[in-house]
Amino acid sequence: MDVAAEILNNVAEAVTPEEVEMLAEAPDGKRAYVGYEPSGVLHAGHMLTATKLIELQSVGFEVIVLLADVHAYLNGKGTMEEIQATAQQMQSQFFAYGLDSSATEFVLGSSFQLEKGYTMELHRLAVETSLPRAQRSMVEIAGGSSPTVSQAIYPLMQALDIVHLDIDLAIGGTEQRKVHMLARDVLPRLGYDAPTCLHTPLISDLTTGVGKMSSSAGVTLSMDDSTASIEEKVNAAYCPPTADPPPTDAGDARGHPVLELFEYHVFPRVETVQIDRPEEYGGPLTFETYTGLEAAIDEGSLHPADAKAALASYMDALIAPGRATLGGAE
């Protein structure tokens, strides 16, 4: 197995590829981490980074999942009591999705972020960071148009978490890039190593292909979705008969959410993808690679409706175990 290739599979960016190569030389026992604000129910964004964590476990990494209750509080997501009540619920969903429980450690942020030593290091980090830099790093994470002082603290804590959790590889979506770049710049000034980082892609908006899929705006796929709900959402998804969608009339770039879900969610978890079709429409199709399925869409041998029907089935199979932990209906 090419360990470095497995680490880099389906990532938008590695900072830096050379550092990843060094980690790949002896991956056993290395610590990879991702942080999530406790939200109670996992959605497609959580699942994408979780898939990368599963891949990392397959090559020997230990995984640390930070349930960032203090971060969520700073980002205005509720009271600490409300936020912490959802954290436990998330753990069972991650295990149901496929994380190896023997190689996964869940850490509640408040278990160490309120300690005196952490607080003093946070003050040292604040001295080294300009306010505009901290604000810029939060643009794609914070909601609302008027940032708060608490949201300027948020990225500094993310940087410090990497140190306090003894992390070798930090994982996040591309919206985390500015935070990770801040950490790489500022942590060495305090005597710490610059962290190696992987950034996973973002899935395009499911209904339009414009912008990213979001649980706070638009339509997303979540662990509490029923089979019928998944089918309804996927069948209504934007799925042009080309792998390279044209921009909107207003000039906005468009992604292809159906193909992206196949590439980043389905193919990493299954050996082959089966498209069931009646013989009168060409019969079943089997794809062993994502590139084969993409080419079939592009050349017209796979109709978008058939692709969406298959995607709904595969996403339902991935979501079903987590849905069961929530007591959701099929």
Report the pLDDT averaged over residues 161-170.
98
pLDDT at 155 over 60: yes
Looking at residue 269, its amino acid is R
The whole-number pLDDT of residue 89 equals 84
Q: Which CATH number fits domain 3-200: 3.40.50.620, 3.40.50.1950, 3.20.20.150, 3.30.428.10?
A: 3.40.50.620
State the amino acid at position 131 in one-letter form: L
pLDDT bin (cut points 50, 70, 90) of residue 254 is very high
The confidence score (pLDDT) of residue 244 equals 96
Indicate the length of the chain as a whole number: 330
- DSSP of 237-279, one letter per residue? S---SSSSPPPPTT------HHHHHIIIIITTT-S-EEE---G
Handedness of CA 311, 317, 318, 322 (dihedral sign): positive
Provide the 10 A C-beta neighbour count for residue 271. Answer: 6
Architecture per CATH, domain 227-325, reads as Orthogonal Bundle (1.10)
290 versus 74: which is more confidently predicted? 290
Under a CB-based contact definition with an 8 Å cutoff, are residues 28 and 60 in contact?
A: yes
> Does the pLDDT of residue 209 top 70, yes or no?
yes
pLDDT at 83: 92
CA 297/CA 304 separation, integer angstroms: 7
At 218, the pLDDT band (50, 70, 90 cuts) reads low
Q: What is the pLDDT of residue 142?
A: 66
Q: Which residue has the higher pLDDT, 1 or 202?
A: 202
Residue listed under structure tokens 């406790």: 38
Closest by Cα among 87, 93, 125, 124 to 109: 87
| CA–CA distance, 226 with 231 (Å, rounded to integer) | 9
Burial of 164 (0-12, 13-18, 19+ CB in 10 A): middle
Lowest mean pLDDT among 107-116, 145-154, 168-177, 299-308: 145-154
Confidence of residue 139 (pLDDT cuts 50, 70, 90): confident
- Per-domain residue ranges of the chain: 3-200, 227-325
Spatial separation of the C-alpha atoms in residues 189 and 164, rounded to whole Å: 16
Q: Quick check: 191 pLDDT over 60?
A: yes
Q: Which residues contact 47 (CB under 8 A, 6 or more apart)?
A: 97, 221, 265, 318
Mean pLDDT of the chain: 93
pLDDT grade for 24, boundaries at 50, 70 and 90: very high
Q: Which two tokens stand for residue 255?
A: 């992604």
> How, if at all, do strands 285-287 and 169-173 pair?
unpaired
pLDDT at 215 over 80: no
Return the pLDDT at 39.
79
How many other CB atoms are there within 10 angstroms of residue 136's CB atom?
16
Is the pLDDT at 144 greater than 60? The verdict is: no
**DSSP secondary structure letters along 136-157:** HHTTTTS-SSS--HHHHHHHHH
